[in-house]
C-alpha cells in the first residue's frame, strides 16, 4: 500500500459512516496510546500504600517501605521461607531439637542469600525501597541469627554428638537438657526465635498488607 494512501476504516455498515485516517494521525494515536500506558503504570505504582513495620531483630526498628511487584515477590518468598521453618516458630523445649533448629537456620541463611541475589542489581540501585528490603533481610541474618550461632552452635554440636553416643537410650530432647549451659542457651535461642517470628509478620505485612494469610 502506498504510504500516502489513506486507510479506510468502516465504523458502521449500518450507518454507512466511513472515517479516513492518514498516516500522521495514526502516529499521533500510537503515541497517545503509549503515553496512556505509561501514565497508567505510573499511577498504578503510586497506588501502592507505604507499609510501616517495626522489626526488633538486629535492632532494625521502624522501617517504611512502599511495595512494588518486585518487593512484594521477595517479601512473600522470604515470609514463606520463615513460616515454614523452625526459625519462624517459637521454640518448644519439650518437642524441638536444638540441632534441628540450627539446621533450619542454616537453610534460612542460604535461601535468604538466594532471594537477595535474585533481585536485579538495577532494581536495587534505582529503588530505595528495594535497597531497604535487602538491607533488613541481610541484617536479620547477620545481626539476628549469626550472633547466637557464633556463640553457641559449634560447642553445643560438639557436646551433643558425644552425649548422643553416650546416652543412646535417651531422646534428643532429654539429652540436650543435660547441656551444662542449657538454660542460658535456650533463653537466648527463644529470644532470637521470638524476634524472627515478629520479623516474619513484618515480611507478611509488606507482601500482603494487613491481609496476611
Pairwise pLDDT comparison (123 vs 29), residue with the higher score: 123
The answer, yes or no, to whether residue 41 has pLDDT greater than 70, is no
Nearest to 51 by CA among 140, 138, 132: 132
d(CA 195, CA 53): 13
d(CA 63, CA 205): 12
Average pLDDT over every residue of 116-141? 84
Supply the DSSP symbol for 57. G
Q: Indicate the pTM of the whole model.
A: 0.71
State residue 71's pLDDT score.
87
User: Average pLDDT of the chain?
Assistant: 80
Residue 40: C-alpha distances to residues 28, 67, 71, 127 (Å) = 18, 17, 20, 19
The answer, yes or no, to whether residue 4 has pLDDT greater than 50, is no
Q: How confident is the model at residue 5 (pLDDT cuts 50, 70, 90)?
A: very low
Average pLDDT over every residue of 137-158? 93
Average pLDDT over every residue of 116-126? 80
Contacts (Cβ under 8 Å, ≥6 apart) of 71: 65, 127, 129, 130, 133, 206
DSSP alpha helix (H) spans, the chain: 23-46, 69-83, 98-118, 121-126, 128-139, 146-148, 154-166, 172-176, 182-208
CB 124 within 8 A of CB 134: yes
Nearest to 98 by CA among 204, 179, 208: 179
State residue 32's pLDDT score.
64
If phi over 0 gives left and psi between -120 and 50 gives alpha, with beta otherwise, what is residue 194?
alpha
**Crossing angle (nearest 10°) for helices 128-139 and 69-83:** 20
Average pLDDT over every residue of 39-56? 62
d(CA 14, CA 17): 8
Give the percent of the chain with pLDDT over 70: 76
Amino acid at each position: 500500500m502506498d504510504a500516502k494512501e489513506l486507510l479506510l476504516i468502516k465504523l458502521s455498515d449500518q450507518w454507512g459512516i466511513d472515517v479516513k485516517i492518514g498516516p500522521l494521525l495514526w502516529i499521533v494515536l500510537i503515541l497517545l496510546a503509549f503515553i496512556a500506558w505509561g501514565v497508567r503504570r505510573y499511577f498504578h505504582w503510586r497506588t501502592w500504600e507505604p507499609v510501616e513495620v517495626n522489626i526488633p531483630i538486629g535492632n532494625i526498628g521502624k522501617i517504611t517501605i512502599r511495595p512494588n511487584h518486585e518487593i512484594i515477590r521477595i517479601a512473600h518468598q522470604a515470609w514463606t521461607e520463615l513460616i515454614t521453618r523452625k526459625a519462624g516458630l517459637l521454640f518448644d523445649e519439650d518437642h524441638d531439637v536444638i540441632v534441628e533448629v540450627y539446621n533450619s537456620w542454616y537453610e534460612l541463611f542460604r535461601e535468604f542469600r538466594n532471594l537477595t541475589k535474585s533481585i536485579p542489581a538495577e532494581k536495587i540501585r534505582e529503588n530505595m525501597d528495594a535497597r531497604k528490603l535487602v538491607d533488613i533481610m541481610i541484617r536479620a541474618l547477620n545481626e539476628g541469627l549469626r550472633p547466637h550461632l557464633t556463640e553457641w552452635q559449634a560447642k553445643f554440636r560438639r557436646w551433643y554428638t558425644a552425649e548422643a553416643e553416650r546416652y543412646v537410650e535417651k531422646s534428643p530432647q532429654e539429652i540436650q537438657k543435660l547441656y551444662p549451659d542449657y538454660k542460658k542457651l535456650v533463653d537466648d535461642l527463644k529470644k532470637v526465635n521470638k524476634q524472627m517470628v515478629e520479623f516474619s509478620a513484618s515480611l507478611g505485612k509488606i507482601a500482603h498488607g494487613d491481609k496476611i494469610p
